[in-house]
Chain A
Amino acid sequence: MIINFTVNGKSVSMDVMPQKRLLDFIREDLLLTGTKEGCAEGECGACTVILNKKAVHSCLTMTGQLDGGELMTVEGLEKDGELDVLQKMFIKKSAVQCGFCTSGMLMSAKALLMENPHPTQEEIKRAIAGNICRCGGYREIKEAVASAAEMEKEE
Protein backbone atom coordinates (compact mmCIF):
# COMPACT_ATOMS: atom_id res chain seq x y z
CA MET A 1 0.00 0.00 0.00
CA ILE A 2 1.37 3.41 -0.94
CA ILE A 3 0.91 6.03 1.73
CA ASN A 4 1.69 9.73 1.84
CA PHE A 5 2.69 11.42 5.03
CA THR A 6 5.14 13.85 6.52
CA VAL A 7 7.82 12.84 8.96
CA ASN A 8 9.53 15.57 10.92
CA GLY A 9 8.37 18.10 8.35
CA LYS A 10 9.43 16.16 5.26
CA SER A 11 6.84 14.85 2.79
CA VAL A 12 7.20 11.18 2.02
CA SER A 13 5.44 8.75 -0.25
CA MET A 14 6.22 5.14 0.47
CA ASP A 15 5.06 1.65 -0.32
CA VAL A 16 4.51 0.14 3.11
CA MET A 17 3.11 -2.88 4.88
CA PRO A 18 0.10 -1.09 6.34
CA GLN A 19 -0.45 -3.51 9.24
CA LYS A 20 3.13 -3.26 10.45
CA ARG A 21 3.42 -1.55 13.81
CA LEU A 22 4.26 2.11 13.35
CA LEU A 23 7.04 1.63 15.90
CA ASP A 24 8.74 -0.97 13.72
CA PHE A 25 8.17 1.11 10.62
CA ILE A 26 9.79 4.14 12.24
CA ARG A 27 12.78 2.16 13.44
CA GLU A 28 13.31 -0.28 10.59
CA ASP A 29 12.09 1.59 7.53
CA LEU A 30 12.54 5.25 8.42
CA LEU A 31 15.72 4.28 10.35
CA LEU A 32 14.79 6.61 13.20
CA THR A 33 15.83 4.55 16.21
CA GLY A 34 15.32 7.28 18.78
CA THR A 35 11.81 5.89 19.34
CA LYS A 36 12.03 2.95 21.73
CA GLU A 37 10.05 -0.14 22.56
CA GLY A 38 9.56 -0.62 26.28
CA CYS A 39 6.51 -2.81 26.61
CA ALA A 40 4.69 -3.11 23.26
CA GLU A 41 1.34 -2.69 24.99
CA GLY A 42 0.91 1.04 25.46
CA GLU A 43 1.73 0.98 29.14
CA CYS A 44 5.21 2.51 29.40
CA GLY A 45 5.21 5.41 26.94
CA ALA A 46 8.74 4.80 25.58
CA CYS A 47 7.44 4.57 22.02
CA THR A 48 5.42 7.80 22.15
CA VAL A 49 5.43 9.85 18.95
CA ILE A 50 3.31 12.78 17.85
CA LEU A 51 0.80 11.87 15.17
CA ASN A 52 -1.43 14.63 13.85
CA LYS A 53 -0.38 16.85 16.77
CA LYS A 54 -1.31 14.29 19.41
CA ALA A 55 0.93 12.05 21.50
CA VAL A 56 0.24 8.43 20.66
CA HIS A 57 1.85 5.04 21.24
CA SER A 58 3.59 4.00 18.06
CA CYS A 59 3.43 0.40 19.31
CA LEU A 60 -0.38 0.53 19.17
CA THR A 61 -0.56 2.17 15.76
CA MET A 62 -0.55 0.52 12.36
CA THR A 63 1.61 2.06 9.67
CA GLY A 64 -1.43 2.43 7.40
CA GLN A 65 -2.91 4.83 9.92
CA LEU A 66 -0.13 7.23 8.99
CA ASP A 67 -1.64 7.81 5.54
CA GLY A 68 -2.28 11.51 5.06
CA GLY A 69 -0.89 12.22 8.50
CA GLU A 70 1.82 14.22 10.10
CA LEU A 71 4.39 12.32 12.15
CA MET A 72 6.92 13.76 14.53
CA THR A 73 9.56 11.72 16.29
CA VAL A 74 12.27 12.74 18.74
CA GLU A 75 14.62 13.28 15.82
CA GLY A 76 12.33 16.07 14.62
CA LEU A 77 12.63 18.22 17.70
CA GLU A 78 15.99 19.71 16.83
CA LYS A 79 15.61 22.29 14.07
CA ASP A 80 18.59 23.46 12.01
CA GLY A 81 21.02 22.39 14.68
CA GLU A 82 19.08 24.22 17.37
CA LEU A 83 17.61 22.09 20.13
CA ASP A 84 13.96 22.47 21.04
CA VAL A 85 13.53 24.31 24.30
CA LEU A 86 12.27 21.08 25.90
CA GLN A 87 15.48 19.30 24.92
CA LYS A 88 17.54 22.17 26.30
CA MET A 89 15.65 22.05 29.56
CA PHE A 90 15.90 18.27 29.85
CA ILE A 91 19.67 18.71 29.66
CA LYS A 92 19.81 21.75 31.89
CA LYS A 93 17.60 20.27 34.60
CA SER A 94 19.47 16.93 34.50
CA ALA A 95 16.31 15.10 33.53
CA VAL A 96 18.26 12.57 31.47
CA GLN A 97 19.69 9.45 33.02
CA CYS A 98 19.66 6.15 31.13
CA GLY A 99 17.79 7.94 28.38
CA PHE A 100 15.57 5.07 27.32
CA CYS A 101 12.37 6.82 28.38
CA THR A 102 13.63 10.23 27.27
CA SER A 103 12.38 10.32 23.70
CA GLY A 104 8.87 9.21 24.68
CA MET A 105 8.87 11.59 27.59
CA LEU A 106 9.93 14.46 25.33
CA MET A 107 7.18 13.67 22.83
CA SER A 108 4.50 13.57 25.53
CA ALA A 109 5.76 16.88 26.87
CA LYS A 110 5.98 18.38 23.38
CA ALA A 111 2.40 17.39 22.59
CA LEU A 112 1.28 18.95 25.84
CA LEU A 113 3.01 22.25 25.13
CA MET A 114 1.73 22.32 21.56
CA GLU A 115 -1.83 22.14 22.86
CA ASN A 116 -1.39 23.94 26.15
CA PRO A 117 1.64 26.26 26.22
CA HIS A 118 1.16 27.21 29.86
CA PRO A 119 0.32 24.03 31.73
CA THR A 120 -0.09 23.81 35.47
CA GLN A 121 1.96 21.35 37.53
CA GLU A 122 -1.07 19.05 37.59
CA GLU A 123 -1.43 19.18 33.83
CA ILE A 124 2.25 18.39 33.37
CA LYS A 125 2.02 15.39 35.69
CA ARG A 126 -1.07 14.11 33.95
CA ALA A 127 0.48 14.51 30.50
CA ILE A 128 3.47 12.35 31.41
CA ALA A 129 1.65 9.93 33.73
CA GLY A 130 1.75 7.35 30.95
CA ASN A 131 5.52 7.59 30.58
CA ILE A 132 7.48 5.45 32.99
CA CYS A 133 10.97 6.52 34.03
CA ARG A 134 12.72 4.16 36.39
CA CYS A 135 15.94 6.13 36.88
CA GLY A 136 14.48 9.09 38.72
CA GLY A 137 11.53 10.36 40.68
CA TYR A 138 10.10 12.52 37.85
CA ARG A 139 11.10 15.65 39.74
CA GLU A 140 13.70 16.76 37.22
CA ILE A 141 11.44 15.88 34.30
CA LYS A 142 8.52 17.89 35.68
CA GLU A 143 10.86 20.80 36.33
CA ALA A 144 12.26 20.59 32.83
CA VAL A 145 8.80 20.69 31.24
CA ALA A 146 7.73 23.58 33.49
CA SER A 147 10.89 25.53 32.66
CA ALA A 148 10.44 24.92 28.96
CA ALA A 149 6.91 26.32 29.18
CA GLU A 150 8.27 29.27 31.13
CA MET A 151 10.97 29.90 28.50
CA GLU A 152 8.43 29.82 25.70
CA LYS A 153 6.38 32.37 27.56
CA GLU A 154 9.35 34.70 27.80
CA GLU A 155 10.16 34.44 24.12
Chain B
Amino acid sequence: MNSNYIQPRTRQELSQALGQMTENSRIIAGGTDLMASDHGRDSSTDLYISLFCLGDMAEIYREDGWVRIGAGAVHDAIEKNPIIQENFRALSMACSKVGSQQIRNKGTIGGNLVNASPAGDMLPCVCLFLGEVEILRADDTTYRMPARDFILGAGKTALKPKEALYAVWLPIQEGRSSTFVKLGSRKEVTIAQISMAVSWEKGEYFQKIEGYLGAVDTRPIYLEEMNHILSGRAVGREEREELVSSLRERIRVIRENRKRPPKLKITEAEQLYKERAVRSVVYDAIDQMEGES
Protein backbone atom coordinates (compact mmCIF):
# COMPACT_ATOMS: atom_id res chain seq x y z
CA MET B 1 0.00 0.00 0.00
CA ASN B 2 2.63 2.46 -1.04
CA SER B 3 0.68 4.27 -3.71
CA ASN B 4 0.07 7.98 -3.62
CA TYR B 5 -3.33 9.46 -3.18
CA ILE B 6 -4.54 12.82 -4.42
CA GLN B 7 -7.97 14.17 -3.70
CA PRO B 8 -8.43 17.35 -5.72
CA ARG B 9 -10.96 19.93 -4.58
CA THR B 10 -10.99 22.01 -7.75
CA ARG B 11 -10.88 21.31 -11.45
CA GLN B 12 -7.45 22.89 -11.62
CA GLU B 13 -6.10 20.57 -8.95
CA LEU B 14 -7.56 17.66 -10.85
CA SER B 15 -5.82 18.72 -14.10
CA GLN B 16 -2.56 18.97 -12.25
CA ALA B 17 -3.07 15.52 -10.82
CA LEU B 18 -3.84 14.15 -14.28
CA GLY B 19 -0.42 15.38 -15.32
CA GLN B 20 1.18 13.10 -12.75
CA MET B 21 -0.57 9.96 -13.92
CA THR B 22 1.34 7.00 -15.30
CA GLU B 23 -0.13 3.88 -16.85
CA ASN B 24 -0.30 2.39 -13.35
CA SER B 25 -2.40 5.24 -11.95
CA ARG B 26 -6.11 4.95 -11.31
CA ILE B 27 -8.91 7.45 -10.99
CA ILE B 28 -11.44 6.56 -8.31
CA ALA B 29 -14.89 8.11 -8.39
CA GLY B 30 -17.50 6.28 -6.32
CA GLY B 31 -15.18 3.32 -5.99
CA THR B 32 -18.01 0.85 -6.41
CA ASP B 33 -16.23 -0.98 -9.22
CA LEU B 34 -12.60 -0.20 -8.54
CA MET B 35 -12.70 -1.14 -4.86
CA ALA B 36 -14.61 -4.31 -5.56
CA SER B 37 -11.89 -5.44 -7.91
CA ASP B 38 -8.69 -4.49 -6.11
CA HIS B 39 -9.88 -3.45 -2.64
CA GLY B 40 -7.44 -0.56 -2.98
CA ARG B 41 -4.74 -3.10 -2.23
CA ASP B 42 -3.25 -3.51 -5.66
CA SER B 43 0.38 -2.78 -4.93
CA SER B 44 1.17 -2.02 -8.57
CA THR B 45 -0.99 1.11 -8.51
CA ASP B 46 1.31 4.11 -8.04
CA LEU B 47 -1.33 6.80 -7.72
CA TYR B 48 -5.01 7.06 -6.91
CA ILE B 49 -6.84 10.24 -7.85
CA SER B 50 -10.09 10.45 -5.90
CA LEU B 51 -12.87 12.57 -7.33
CA PHE B 52 -14.94 12.28 -4.19
CA CYS B 53 -14.39 15.80 -2.86
CA LEU B 54 -14.71 17.66 -6.15
CA GLY B 55 -18.06 19.35 -5.66
CA ASP B 56 -18.32 20.78 -9.17
CA MET B 57 -18.09 17.32 -10.66
CA ALA B 58 -21.26 16.21 -8.89
CA GLU B 59 -23.48 19.05 -10.03
CA ILE B 60 -26.42 18.79 -12.35
CA TYR B 61 -27.70 21.94 -14.08
CA ARG B 62 -29.28 23.34 -17.22
CA GLU B 63 -27.19 25.36 -19.67
CA ASP B 64 -28.06 26.61 -23.18
CA GLY B 65 -30.62 23.96 -24.03
CA TRP B 66 -28.49 21.20 -22.54
CA VAL B 67 -28.44 19.52 -19.19
CA ARG B 68 -25.02 19.07 -17.76
CA ILE B 69 -24.48 16.16 -15.38
CA GLY B 70 -21.15 16.16 -13.60
CA ALA B 71 -19.36 12.86 -14.07
CA GLY B 72 -19.25 12.55 -10.30
CA ALA B 73 -23.04 12.77 -9.92
CA VAL B 74 -24.24 9.65 -8.14
CA HIS B 75 -27.10 7.49 -9.39
CA ASP B 76 -29.30 8.40 -6.45
CA ALA B 77 -28.94 12.13 -7.18
CA ILE B 78 -29.64 11.67 -10.89
CA GLU B 79 -32.64 9.46 -10.17
CA LYS B 80 -34.18 12.09 -7.90
CA ASN B 81 -33.21 15.23 -9.85
CA PRO B 82 -36.32 17.06 -11.13
CA ILE B 83 -34.60 18.27 -14.32
CA ILE B 84 -33.66 14.71 -15.19
CA GLN B 85 -37.06 13.34 -14.24
CA GLU B 86 -38.75 15.89 -16.47
CA ASN B 87 -36.53 15.68 -19.51
CA PHE B 88 -34.78 12.33 -19.36
CA ARG B 89 -37.11 10.00 -17.58
CA ALA B 90 -35.39 6.90 -18.93
CA LEU B 91 -32.13 8.00 -17.31
CA SER B 92 -33.81 8.61 -13.97
CA MET B 93 -35.40 5.16 -14.21
CA ALA B 94 -32.12 3.53 -15.18
CA CYS B 95 -30.42 5.14 -12.20
CA SER B 96 -33.14 3.89 -9.90
CA LYS B 97 -32.40 0.36 -11.04
CA VAL B 98 -28.66 0.41 -10.50
CA GLY B 99 -27.53 -1.99 -7.76
CA SER B 100 -28.54 -1.36 -4.19
CA GLN B 101 -29.26 1.92 -2.41
CA GLN B 102 -25.68 1.89 -1.13
CA ILE B 103 -24.37 1.57 -4.69
CA ARG B 104 -26.71 4.27 -5.97
CA ASN B 105 -25.47 6.55 -3.19
CA LYS B 106 -21.88 6.20 -4.27
CA GLY B 107 -21.65 4.96 -7.84
CA THR B 108 -21.37 7.74 -10.42
CA ILE B 109 -22.52 8.18 -13.98
CA GLY B 110 -18.94 8.89 -14.95
CA GLY B 111 -17.70 5.67 -13.39
CA ASN B 112 -20.42 3.72 -15.10
CA LEU B 113 -19.48 5.13 -18.51
CA VAL B 114 -15.71 4.86 -18.08
CA ASN B 115 -15.93 1.24 -16.94
CA ALA B 116 -17.94 0.61 -20.11
CA SER B 117 -19.35 -2.64 -18.81
CA PRO B 118 -21.68 -4.07 -21.45
CA ALA B 119 -24.26 -4.42 -18.70
CA GLY B 120 -23.84 -0.79 -17.60
CA ASP B 121 -27.21 0.85 -17.18
CA MET B 122 -26.16 4.40 -18.12
CA LEU B 123 -24.83 3.58 -21.57
CA PRO B 124 -28.05 2.95 -23.48
CA CYS B 125 -29.63 6.05 -21.93
CA VAL B 126 -26.80 8.42 -22.70
CA CYS B 127 -26.75 7.10 -26.28
CA LEU B 128 -30.52 7.44 -26.52
CA PHE B 129 -30.44 11.08 -25.51
CA LEU B 130 -27.64 11.88 -27.98
CA GLY B 131 -25.43 12.71 -25.06
CA GLU B 132 -21.95 14.09 -25.29
CA VAL B 133 -19.13 13.55 -22.88
CA GLU B 134 -16.84 16.32 -21.75
CA ILE B 135 -13.30 15.23 -21.13
CA LEU B 136 -10.73 17.08 -19.04
CA ARG B 137 -7.09 17.12 -20.03
CA ALA B 138 -4.01 17.71 -17.91
CA ASP B 139 -3.67 21.25 -19.33
CA ASP B 140 -7.04 22.10 -17.75
CA THR B 141 -8.84 22.32 -21.10
CA THR B 142 -11.81 20.17 -21.98
CA TYR B 143 -13.27 18.82 -25.20
CA ARG B 144 -16.57 17.13 -26.02
CA MET B 145 -17.44 14.11 -28.08
CA PRO B 146 -20.61 12.10 -28.71
CA ALA B 147 -21.12 9.42 -26.04
CA ARG B 148 -21.64 6.84 -28.79
CA ASP B 149 -18.10 7.41 -29.99
CA PHE B 150 -16.75 7.41 -26.46
CA ILE B 151 -17.71 3.81 -25.78
CA LEU B 152 -15.54 1.56 -27.92
CA GLY B 153 -16.37 -1.86 -26.54
CA ALA B 154 -16.44 -3.93 -23.37
CA GLY B 155 -14.31 -2.02 -20.89
CA LYS B 156 -12.91 0.18 -23.65
CA THR B 157 -13.42 3.91 -24.07
CA ALA B 158 -11.86 6.69 -26.09
CA LEU B 159 -10.39 8.16 -22.92
CA LYS B 160 -6.68 8.81 -23.44
CA PRO B 161 -3.94 8.73 -20.80
CA LYS B 162 -3.95 11.72 -18.44
CA GLU B 163 -7.60 12.47 -19.18
CA ALA B 164 -10.69 12.28 -17.02
CA LEU B 165 -14.35 12.16 -17.90
CA TYR B 166 -15.60 15.44 -16.44
CA ALA B 167 -19.26 15.75 -17.38
CA VAL B 168 -22.05 14.35 -19.48
CA TRP B 169 -24.16 16.72 -21.59
CA LEU B 170 -27.64 15.88 -22.77
CA PRO B 171 -29.52 18.10 -25.24
CA ILE B 172 -33.07 18.89 -24.12
CA GLN B 173 -35.53 17.67 -26.73
CA GLU B 174 -38.98 19.15 -26.26
CA GLY B 175 -42.11 17.10 -26.68
CA ARG B 176 -40.53 13.71 -26.19
CA SER B 177 -41.08 11.00 -23.61
CA SER B 178 -38.83 8.15 -22.64
CA THR B 179 -38.72 4.99 -20.62
CA PHE B 180 -36.28 2.32 -19.49
CA VAL B 181 -36.65 -1.39 -18.89
CA LYS B 182 -34.16 -3.64 -17.17
CA LEU B 183 -34.35 -7.39 -17.03
CA GLY B 184 -32.05 -8.83 -14.41
CA SER B 185 -32.30 -12.08 -12.57
CA ARG B 186 -34.25 -10.61 -9.70
CA LYS B 187 -36.25 -7.47 -9.07
CA GLU B 188 -33.80 -5.36 -7.11
CA VAL B 189 -30.03 -5.34 -6.82
CA THR B 190 -29.35 -7.11 -10.04
CA ILE B 191 -27.14 -6.91 -13.10
CA ALA B 192 -28.89 -6.32 -16.43
CA GLN B 193 -29.32 -9.31 -18.68
CA ILE B 194 -31.09 -7.06 -21.14
CA SER B 195 -31.92 -3.40 -20.88
CA MET B 196 -33.83 -1.13 -23.20
CA ALA B 197 -34.02 2.63 -23.39
CA VAL B 198 -36.70 4.13 -25.59
CA SER B 199 -37.83 7.65 -26.44
CA TRP B 200 -40.63 8.86 -28.66
CA GLU B 201 -42.53 11.93 -29.68
CA LYS B 202 -45.76 12.44 -27.78
CA GLY B 203 -48.96 12.33 -29.76
CA GLU B 204 -51.94 10.13 -30.57
CA TYR B 205 -49.58 7.38 -31.66
CA PHE B 206 -45.90 6.89 -30.92
CA GLN B 207 -43.83 8.82 -33.42
CA LYS B 208 -40.12 9.12 -34.14
CA ILE B 209 -39.20 6.28 -31.83
CA GLU B 210 -35.60 5.85 -30.84
CA GLY B 211 -34.50 2.77 -29.02
CA TYR B 212 -31.34 1.20 -27.66
CA LEU B 213 -30.80 -2.31 -26.44
CA GLY B 214 -28.23 -2.71 -23.69
CA ALA B 215 -26.34 -5.63 -22.15
CA VAL B 216 -26.60 -7.92 -25.15
CA ASP B 217 -23.54 -6.75 -27.04
CA THR B 218 -20.31 -5.03 -26.08
CA ARG B 219 -21.96 -1.66 -26.82
CA PRO B 220 -25.59 -0.53 -26.79
CA ILE B 221 -27.37 -1.37 -30.04
CA TYR B 222 -29.45 1.21 -31.88
CA LEU B 223 -32.80 -0.27 -32.86
CA GLU B 224 -33.85 1.34 -36.12
CA GLU B 225 -36.67 -1.20 -36.52
CA MET B 226 -38.50 0.16 -33.49
CA ASN B 227 -39.67 3.20 -35.38
CA HIS B 228 -40.66 1.16 -38.45
CA ILE B 229 -42.66 -1.30 -36.47
CA LEU B 230 -44.26 0.83 -33.79
CA SER B 231 -44.66 4.37 -35.02
CA GLY B 232 -47.80 6.00 -36.26
CA ARG B 233 -50.19 3.20 -35.48
CA ALA B 234 -52.07 1.48 -32.71
CA VAL B 235 -49.63 -1.09 -31.32
CA GLY B 236 -51.14 -4.51 -30.85
CA ARG B 237 -49.89 -8.01 -30.33
CA GLU B 238 -48.74 -8.32 -33.92
CA GLU B 239 -46.42 -5.30 -33.72
CA ARG B 240 -45.08 -6.44 -30.41
CA GLU B 241 -44.31 -9.89 -31.74
CA GLU B 242 -42.70 -8.44 -34.84
CA LEU B 243 -40.35 -6.42 -32.68
CA VAL B 244 -39.69 -9.47 -30.49
CA SER B 245 -38.71 -11.52 -33.55
CA SER B 246 -36.45 -8.81 -34.83
CA LEU B 247 -34.63 -8.42 -31.52
CA ARG B 248 -34.45 -12.13 -31.03
CA GLU B 249 -32.71 -12.39 -34.37
CA ARG B 250 -30.27 -9.64 -33.47
CA ILE B 251 -29.34 -11.38 -30.24
CA ARG B 252 -29.00 -14.72 -32.02
CA VAL B 253 -26.51 -13.24 -34.47
CA ILE B 254 -24.49 -11.67 -31.65
CA ARG B 255 -24.41 -15.01 -29.85
CA GLU B 256 -23.30 -16.88 -32.93
CA ASN B 257 -20.57 -14.39 -33.64
CA ARG B 258 -19.06 -14.75 -30.20
CA LYS B 259 -15.93 -16.86 -30.03
CA ARG B 260 -17.16 -18.57 -26.88
CA PRO B 261 -20.15 -18.13 -24.60
CA PRO B 262 -19.77 -16.01 -21.45
CA LYS B 263 -18.19 -18.16 -18.75
CA LEU B 264 -21.27 -18.31 -16.54
CA LYS B 265 -23.54 -19.41 -19.37
CA ILE B 266 -22.77 -23.10 -19.27
CA THR B 267 -25.96 -24.76 -20.42
CA GLU B 268 -27.74 -24.23 -23.70
CA ALA B 269 -30.72 -22.81 -21.83
CA GLU B 270 -28.43 -20.18 -20.34
CA GLN B 271 -26.86 -19.36 -23.68
CA LEU B 272 -30.25 -18.93 -25.34
CA TYR B 273 -31.84 -17.07 -22.45
CA LYS B 274 -31.57 -13.53 -23.77
CA GLU B 275 -33.11 -14.48 -27.11
CA ARG B 276 -36.06 -15.98 -25.33
CA ALA B 277 -36.44 -13.36 -22.62
CA VAL B 278 -36.28 -10.34 -24.88
CA ARG B 279 -40.04 -10.72 -25.30
CA SER B 280 -40.53 -9.61 -21.70
CA VAL B 281 -38.44 -6.51 -22.32
CA VAL B 282 -40.39 -5.60 -25.45
CA TYR B 283 -43.73 -6.06 -23.74
CA ASP B 284 -42.67 -4.19 -20.62
CA ALA B 285 -41.29 -1.33 -22.68
CA ILE B 286 -44.42 -0.98 -24.79
CA ASP B 287 -46.65 -1.30 -21.72
CA GLN B 288 -44.71 1.48 -20.09
CA MET B 289 -44.83 3.60 -23.25
CA GLU B 290 -48.58 3.19 -23.38
CA GLY B 291 -48.84 4.02 -19.71
CA GLU B 292 -46.82 7.15 -20.25
CA SER B 293 -48.62 8.47 -23.33
Contact = CB atoms under 8 A, between A and B. Distances in A.
Interface in B11-44: 28, 30-32, 35-36, 39-41
A68 interface: yes
A43 B100 CA distance: 8
A65 B105 contact: no
Contact of B53 (A40, A48, A67): A67
Contacts, number: 97
Interface residues of A, number: 33
Given A54-B105, A60-B106, A130-B99, A21 B39 contact: yes
Contact of B106 (A56, A112, A131): A56
Nearest to B187: A129
Nearest to A127: B101
B257 interface: no
Interface string A119-136: 000000111011100000
Given A18-B5, A21-B40, A40-B39, A61 B101 contact: no
Given A19-B1, A19-B3, A59 B53 contact: no
Interface residues of B, number: 27
A60 B31 contact: yes
B150 interface: no
B50 interface: yes
Contact of B188 (A20, A56, A108, A129): A129
Interface in A96-120: 108, 111-112
A129 B101 contact: yes
Nearest to B47: A19
Contact of B7 (A18, A40, A111): A18
A125 B36 CA distance: 24
Contacts of B76: 54
A62 B40 contact: yes
Contacts of B188: 125-126, 129-130
B28 A42 contact: no
Interface string B43-66: 000001010110000000000000
A101 B189 CA distance: 17
B102 A19 contact: no
A139 to B, nearest CB: 17
Contacts of B103: 42, 57, 130
Interface string B99-114: 1111101100000000
A1 interface: yes
A41 interface: yes
Interface in A31-54: 40-43, 45, 48, 54
B101 A68 contact: no
Given A21-B35, A45-B100, A64 B105 contact: no
A141 interface: no
Given A19-B40, A62-B35, A65-B52, A55 B102 contact: yes
A42 B102 contact: yes
A57 B102 contact: yes
Contacts of B50: 18, 62, 64-65
B271 to A, nearest CB: 25
Contacts of B3: 19
A34 B39 CA distance: 20
A17 interface: yes
30 contacts: A1-B5, A17-B1, A18-B50, A19-B1, A19-B5, A20-B1, A20-B40, A21-B41, A41-B36, A42-B36, A43-B189, A55-B102, A60-B36, A61-B106, A62-B5, A62-B48, A62-B50, A64-B5, A64-B48, A65-B31, A65-B53, A67-B7, A108-B101, A112-B101, A127-B101, A129-B101, A129-B188, A130-B100, A130-B102, A130-B188
Interface of A: 1, 17-21, 40-43, 45, 48, 54-57, 59-62, 64-65, 67-68, 108, 111-112, 125-127, 129-131
